[in-house]
Structures are given as structure tokens and as C-alpha cells.
Structure 1
């Protein structure tokens, strides 16, 4: 598939380019991104270039991963990414990461909502998916808050469900179905 560009009132979501390497390095080295995602440590320009040229681009071409760079419409610097991957029988997983400069403004919620809209839209305007799930280390409360705001429904806690940085962690899982009312409040546990 050719890369798609999505737009919201405040954002442009487009495929990360080699010129975004500095920005990818900046957010990939953020302590929160390191704590909760499998980015290599240390993460430098070689890793960013590899990710863009060997993961992102081939993912779009092969139809196995659709990664979007999150950019403000008035400043096209890459603030983070949101992607769909793990495609199986009309379902996918969503993941996202944001540089501290982009946090606290609702950008990731807005970006991920646009990606979900595209994922569920019928072809040829979207992917026609039936389900999108999210998983994260249970202590990643900012990511969980975004998933909750997106209308994903909490499906469970996988005890010791993920191995990350040499330790086992509980993992949360949530999902949304194409026909779910994403504007309806969902109930997530507080602990």
C-alpha cells in the first residue's frame, strides 16, 4: 500500500521520513519511552534510520505495518508516532509514543482517534478492520489513559504478561470493535 496521510484540525499524520531521524532519536531516548517500549538502548541515528528504512517503509509496502508520524499542522516536526501492526483476520494492534514536547495537549489522543477512524472505515477509504487492540505495561498509566479516552474497553490484566528490560511486568489489554460507540464512557479498573 502507498503511505496514507491523515489530517485532523491540529495535526498531520504522515509516514516518518529519513529527515525525521533527529526527532525519532529525541523521543526514543526519552526515559518514559525507554521504560515502556522496546526501543533499543542506546538509540542513535543508525537505529532511527534502520527503523524508518527497514521497518516503516517496508511495512507500508508489504501491508504489514502502518506507522504514522504525528506532526502539528503548523509545525511539521515529528513529535511522535502512532501505528497499526500485528494484522490478523481483520484485527490489528495500535501502539504510540510521544516526545515530551507533544505531551499534555491531547495530540496523541487526537492522532490515535484519526488512525482508528481510518482503520475501521470501509475500503477503499480505510482498512475495514473489525477490531483494534492495545497492550501496555500495567504501570504505563499515560498510555492507558489515552486508550480509555479513545473508547477502548478494558479486557484484562495479564499477570507477568510481558518481559521488558530484563524483568517481567503485568500487561493490560483493551480493545475496540468497529461497531462500538467510542464516545460512550468505559469503565477501567483503578489498580
Structure 2
């Protein structure tokens, strides 16, 4: 461990590293999915249709929703877009919007951002495209020079916690009474991937997403075996 002139331990040097830009509002494309910069006026009506058959429980751990009509959803998405610290994307499969998520809490000066505000419609859930969606955002952040990608969720949101571990995020702890939303208190579970962990994780993601990992009916042959830590 490095020390300073006072023989105190200090963090590793960042010589050679420079802060990355805020992720640009550009499309990201994978084998099964396309992530388009969100445009609420045109995206909201089609997303509303995608979520028509979704149970209200899908919105329990989001800061907004369920939305009663297209206008309400457009307003919610517009609020998501209305911050320089967020970069939201609409998830598109076969030219149909089927969900959304965002980079949030972007702190480019520190090389840190979070993936959040995630809502996947029933048509997207538990699909290859759903996994590729998150993998694309993680890879894009590290490709641009970010040092840390975060995942945070309500500590009671078991599916989100499980998803974080599946993708290889490391559990860091729970912040008690961290925020309030929808008239209730939230303990927030923190997860992260750092740039030194990503190469091994990326190899696991790429292996899972490879076409030869799926049979003729599109079923996975092996599970995503990211070397996650709890």
C-alpha cells in the first residue's frame, strides 16, 4: 500500500487517468436489443402499451408508477430525462419499445455512475435481451473510462438484489433510512463493479451472450456465471 511523506497509508495513484465524459446520448446496439436515447413524447405511448399487462407490483420499488395513462407516463419519463446527472434509454426489441433504464447519479469527475430507474415489461423480463440490456450499459461505462458502476435498490427488493449478484455486482452494505419515496422509508442496498473487476466479468457476460450458448428454441445452455461476491 502506498504511503505519503508522513508515512500514512493512502489510496492508489491515479496518474494517467483522466475523468471520462458524461455518457453521450447515443444509441447502443447488441445482438438482441437496441438501447435508444429516451424521447418521452414518442416513447411514452408505445411503452404504455408494453406495460398494459404488467401487474401493479412491477412499480412497487420504483419512485413513480403505476401510470394511469400515456400522459402520466410521458410526464414521469420527462422528469427522468430532466437532469444532467441522468442518461435514460428506451429498450427496443424487434423495433418495439419494451422497457427503460438509465445511467443515474453520473459523477464523471470521479469516474462513477449508477444503473437505475429500471422497468422491464413482461415481454422483456427473463429474456436474453434483458440480460444484454444491462450488460451493454455496464460495458459502455467502462469502455468510456469509468472506474465504478453502481447498482442500488430497496433492501427489500429481493429480485433486484438477486439480479445485481447475477451480473457480478459486489454487495457493499445497506444504508438504513437512506431515502423516502411513495410515503415510506427505504433502506438502500449498495452494489458495485470496479474497473479492475470488469475484465473477468466481461468474459463471463460475453460467454453467456454468445449465440452458441443457446439452443434452437433460444434457451440458455449454461447460466450466467459471473464471478460475483456477496
> Residue 86 of structure 2 aligns with which residue?
65
- 8 A Cα contact 1:160 1:168, kept in partner: yes
SS at match of 1:82: strand
- 8 A Cα contact 2:64 2:76, kept in partner: no
> Residue 215 of structure 2 aligns with which residue?
none
**1:137 Cα deviation (Å)?**
1.1
For 1:5-154, list aligned pairs within 5 A: 5-17=27-39, 18-26=41-49, 27=51, 30-40=55-65, 42-53=67-78, 55-56=80-81, 58-59=82-83, 62=84, 64-72=85-93, 75-88=94-107, 89-95=110-116, 96-121=118-143, 126=144, 128-154=145-171
* Structure 1 segments of 4+ aligned residues over 6 angstroms from their partners: none
1:12, 1:113 → 2: CA distance? 12
**1:47 Cα deviation (Å)?**
2.9
- 8 A Cα contact 1:25 1:45, kept in partner: yes
Question: Is there any run of 5+ residues in structure 2 with no aligned partner, and where?
Answer: 1-22, 205-225
- 8 A Cα contact 1:137 1:162, kept in partner: no
Aligned CA RMSD, in angstroms, stands at 2.4
**1:148 Cα deviation (Å)?**
1.4
Query: Which one of the candidate residues 183, 208, 225 is aligned to 1:166?
Result: 183
Name the TM-score, length of structure 2 as normaliser: 0.67
Change (3 A) 1:39 1:53: closer
Q: Hey, which of these two has a bigger chunk of strand by percent?
A: 1
Name the TM-score, length of structure 1 as normaliser: 0.80
Question: Is there any run of 5+ residues in structure 1 with no aligned partner, and where?
Answer: none
**1:159 Cα deviation (Å)?**
2.9
Give the count of matched residue pairs.
177
**1:40 Cα deviation (Å)?**
4.4
In our comparison, the structure showing a higher alpha carbon Rg is 2
